[in-house]
Amino acid sequence: MTAGRASGDGLDRLAMAVLQPGFDGTAPPDWLLRALADGLGGVVLFARNVTRAAPRTADRSADRDGDDAGAAGGPGPVNGPVDGAVGGAGDGTSALVAALRRERPDVVVAVDEEGGSVTRLEAATGSSWPGNLALGVADDESLTRRVGRQIGRMVAAAGVTLDYAPVVDVNADPRNPVIGVRSFGSDPEAVGRHGAAWIEGLQSAGVAACAKHFPGHGDTVTDSHLALPAVRAAREVIERRDLPPFRAAIAAGVRAVMCGHLLVPAVDALPATLSRAVLTGLLREEMGFGGLVVTDAIEMRAVAALHDPGEIAVRALAAGADAICVGVSSARGESVYALRDAITAAVREGRLKEDRLAEAAGRVRDLAAWYDARADARAAAAGDADEGLGLAAAAAALRVTPGPTGPAASEAEAVGPGVLTRAPLVVSMAARPSQAVGRVTPLTLGQALAEILPGTTTAEVNDEEDAPGLLATLGDTGRPLVIAVHDAVRHAWMRRLLEEALRARPDAVVVETGVPGTPAGRLYLATHGNSTASARAAARWLAGRSQ
């Protein structure tokens, strides 16, 4: 063995150190514990690993006395925990993490907890917190910082080291199928300000933040879970539009950056995950980032269609990535060991420098050490509940516009809360969620209204095939009609159905829970997100209840 080089066992441990695999179940499987003993550096938690939170039940105490919804005994954690502790995950999740740490105290435990539509710890009830677009619309950096801290408080209670958040992509194309309300908005300066504030808030709770998806996933119309998206903008546009929020995140001290599986021809002909020009040349050398670079999940079709998993890992490490996120592992962990073997083989063959692998493993250890040094911050955050914040933040993002069948422009100022005085029919139009959102079941607007106005009913439409017979029921003007749409700007079928429905019922109130489009109906209410918090804020506004 050459002096200074790792032995076979040492090389295997270096290769294991850079992997962050997912796994099935709410307890660590035997193979995972063995992998930790063999040097596995990290794991990533998904909703499938989270102990289910308490069932959602209606809490009408707030409707009686005007205080915030979601108080003790209420549904979901709009202003506090669902399990009486700190966050949406039950005690079982923290017990799972504790079991991992008993095997390897410095394991990096990651989770994708953005708030809004993307939540893992609160997947069973929907997020307590509005998402990024809502925070961007509210445009109060202190509010954003407070929300970031409370999300940090929640994930810290579960024992999480690294939160794969926030999204700092600039949503340059409203047709974007995977970013949308996950972005703070379409203005680079505002996205940078709020991204930095969210990072500061989260990291003040002793949990590492991760800005994503470098170098910017906002100007795409392809979901990288399904195919390889491309950002066709000129380099000067990328510099002016997409990179400033990442620069702001770096200046705010973000501990990690996630690269996106996307093609940026103005920088390189290779996907960003596999591009040395992007990860080393641009992110490291030009922008000066010295923290952990983690890939998005390598089973996503954007890169999985190009190479097998082992080759993706090798090429990403060679390009400058430090940690390989693997969302899906085989039942007995063979796939994780196959990745290890592919990495060590590449080192032995000279395709991956051992120094580069050692550098990557060192950055994983550095992140673990950063987390270990912030036990006091986590303890302080645990006692810092910000009661009522989730609902208040969601309410601050509500925007109301008279629609074309509503009051004239001169009467617009008279439009106020309380437009519903009795139980409505809610027609909900939404496409099936992207894989980024996963199996989240937020409180719907209809459910939130039913908590306040008993007798509210909901009809769901997920595509045009669900529509026959629905429109025939809308001619009944015996009850108010609310039409809730999500990202109608992206779905022609949704816009067509909305137009038909409004011809039958021009008195309908339209609520957009995604990226807003052209106002429609008697009244157009934009929530800028579809979290449980946003649903309750919208319902309380419509019913005239205090926030």
What spatial distance separates the first Cα and last Cα of the chain, rounded to whole Å? 68
Rounded to whole angstroms, the Cα distance separating 438 from 472 reads: 33
State the Cα–Cα distance between residues 366 and 148, nearest whole angstrom: 23
Tell me the C-alpha to C-alpha distance, in Å, between residue 430 and each of 171, 462, 514.
Answer: 20, 5, 10
| Of 481, 434, 489, 488, nearest in space to 458 by CA | 481
Number of C-beta neighbours around residue 241 at 10 A: 20
Q: 3-state secondary structure string, 16-60?
A: HHCEEECCCCCCCCHHHHHHHHCCCCEEEECHHHCCCCCCCCCCC
Beta bridge partners of 485: 429, 512
Token pair of 516, please?
């807003």
Is 187 among the residues known to form the active site?
A: no
Distances (CA, A) of 498 to 310, 393, 489, 535: 47, 28, 11, 20
Beta strands, E only, 232-378: 256-259, 292-295, 324-326
Residue closest to 233 by CA, chosen among 224, 242, 245, 221: 242
Whether 169 is catalytic is: no
Helix (H, G, I), strand (E, B) or coil at 458: strand
**Angstrom distance (rounded) from CA 61 to CA 525:** 25
C-alpha neighbours within 13 Å on the C-beta side of residue 375: 3
The catalytic position among 163, 296, 322, 487 is: 296
List the catalytic residue out of 217, 225, 486, 528: 225
For residue 258, the cross-strand partners are 212, 294
Active site residues: 225, 296
